[in-house]
Amino acid sequence: MATNAGGEFAGRSTGGDMARQARRAVIASTVGTMIEWYDFYAYGLVAGLVFGKLYFPQGDAFAGTIAALSTFFLGFVARPIGAAFFGHYGDRIGRKATLVATLLLMGGSTVLIGLVPTYASIGIWGGVILVVLRIMQGIGVGGEWGGSVALASEWSEFNSSRGLAASWPQFGSPLGLLLAVMVLNIVSHSGSPEWFLAIGWRIPFLLSLILIVVGFYIRVGILETPMFARLVKEGHVHKTPVQDVVKHHWRTILLTCLIRSGQFASFPLFTTFLISYGTSTLKLTQNFLFSAVLAAACVSLFATPFFGYLSDRIGRKRMYLIGAATLLVFVFPYYAMIDTRIPAGIFCAVVLSLPVHDMQYAPQAAFIAESFPADVRYSGSSLGYQLASITAGGPAPLLAAWLIHTFHTSLAVSIYLAVLAVISIVAASMLRDRSHDDYAATGWDDLSAGITPIRPASVSAAS
């Protein structure tokens, strides 16, 4: 569908048609996000278990784990690149076409990871190929989030429930985690540890091919959002959206990055790092930890939309501040319970961890997306969101491993997370709550002054 057709669709459709299209967009956004997060989590969960042994075997176990987690970090470093690249096209040609591209890039990279020969077969080149594919994964994920949130929320039908609508792409994260852990749990029970190390770990990556086909089918069947169609019709599509948003909204980009500090660092530590720390340091069984994370992901499926809904009632900023303050307190008893090595205490800590995380994660989508005008929303929200990959989420597992190795106590990790939670609180306090502002506005408070739009004739998008 050309973008002008998107505008005609928005103009001639009935309220019932628009409501159906809005629901389809939310489903497409959620399913696509779930698939991409499945790919990302499958890598994170496997990296700490087998990649150090298979691709970086030299040196001691700690060095191998650090090398494997470093490839995990590279995926996070690549995310801002994906945010800038796909953000540009998402604000130029539309949300839909760009999201199809991110899905194919992420999924294709994941399938290829499952085929990479090990160090025993091709030496260091196995690790090099793994790093390249991990970077491609990161670029795909970097371009995914901003478009998914825009696709799910840029409908007038959701004006009074944007927090809930935008939380559904966030819902794709625990859903992807749940699927990844389920598959790994089944695979790890299907053979011996030697079989898992040789063949079993590849299966979750190869299964991604099925998910790509499903996601592609769903995403090509949706229509462009009415808000983007209106931007095209009114000539508010930018020639250089990334450059414009950095120039005129740099402070908002910085604040939206910093509000994610505690939330983003805590998630990999509550999930992927937990598996590595639990098996290597605490000598817990892999299957027990998988089961605990699986249960936490199930609880998160309910917590995410609930806290998104709650943000519509009490405001995005207030919900976010409550979540950040809760995380600040929770990180201390969390590691204390984990370190007891008592199964019941560990299970309880893990199950509670993701709902605590979701208190920020659920309202975060609307909170960040509402901070940018519609004409640079994909670019601005993507950059702010994904820059936190470098400042918080990416280095978190590496820093946690180093802190425990250096200080021989998980209290150091608790203090690290508490500091990041304080940064989130300060940044969120400085960010304006736009829960009730006009989401379709192309510029508010003269923030877009000086940005030169291009005419709609310069822009086209496939349907």
Confidence of residue 14 (pLDDT cuts 50, 70, 90): low
More confident residue, 445 or 299: 299
pLDDT digits over 242-298, tens only?
999 999 999 999 999 999 999 999 999 998 889 889 998 899 998 899 899 989 999
- The pTM assigned to this predicted structure is 0.84
Say whether pLDDT at 117 is over 60: yes
CB distance 64 to 180 below 8 Å? no
CA 84: distance to chain centroid? 15
**How does the average pLDDT of the chain come out, rounded?**
86
Q: Lowest-pLDDT range, 16-30, 116-130, 230-244, 401-415?
A: 16-30
Q: Lowest-pLDDT range, 71-75, 225-229, 241-245, 263-267?
A: 71-75
- Asked if residue 456 is part of any domain, the answer here is no
7: containing domain: 3-450
CB distance 398 to 103 below 8 Å? no
Angle, helices 343-369/377-388, rounded to nearest 10 degrees:
150
CB distance 32 to 103 below 8 Å? yes
- The predicted pLDDT at position 69 comes to 62
More confident residue, 451 or 376: 376
- The predicted pLDDT at position 88 comes to 95
- Asked if residue 314 is part of any domain, the answer here is yes
The average pLDDT across 309-333 equals 97
Say whether pLDDT at 444 is over 60: no
User: What is the CB neighbour count within 10 angstroms for residue 31?
Assistant: 22
Taking the C-alpha atoms of residue 50 and residue 68, their distance in angstroms, rounded to an integer, is 8
Say whether pLDDT at 60 is over 80: no
Confidence of residue 9 (pLDDT cuts 50, 70, 90): very low
- Asked if residue 394 is part of any domain, the answer here is yes
CB distance 375 to 442 below 8 Å? yes
- Asked if residue 390 is part of any domain, the answer here is yes
More confident residue, 105 or 124: 105
- Asked if residue 455 is part of any domain, the answer here is no
pLDDT digits over 362-396, tens only?
999 999 999 999 899 999 999 999 999 999 988 99
Confidence of residue 158 (pLDDT cuts 50, 70, 90): confident
Q: Which two tokens stand for residue 451?
A: 């940005």
Say whether pLDDT at 442 is over 60: no
Q: Lowest-pLDDT range, 18-32, 235-249, 344-358?
A: 18-32
- The predicted pLDDT at position 241 comes to 94
Residue 22 is part of a domain; what is its CATH number?
1.20.1250.20
Confidence of residue 356 (pLDDT cuts 50, 70, 90): very high
Confidence of residue 461 (pLDDT cuts 50, 70, 90): very low
Cα angle 238-241-247, degrees, rounded to a multiple of 5: 120
Given the structure tokens 């739009």, which residue do they identify? 453
More confident residue, 158 or 31: 31
pLDDT digits over 78-96, tens only?
999 999 999 999 999 999 8
- Asked if residue 123 is part of any domain, the answer here is yes
- The predicted pLDDT at position 457 comes to 38
Confidence of residue 403 (pLDDT cuts 50, 70, 90): very high
The average pLDDT across 205-213 equals 91
- Asked if residue 56 is part of any domain, the answer here is yes
- Asked if residue 463 is part of any domain, the answer here is no
Domain count, the chain: 1
More confident residue, 177 or 52: 177
Cα angle 434-154-429, degrees, rounded to a multiple of 5: 20
Say whether pLDDT at 453 is over 60: no
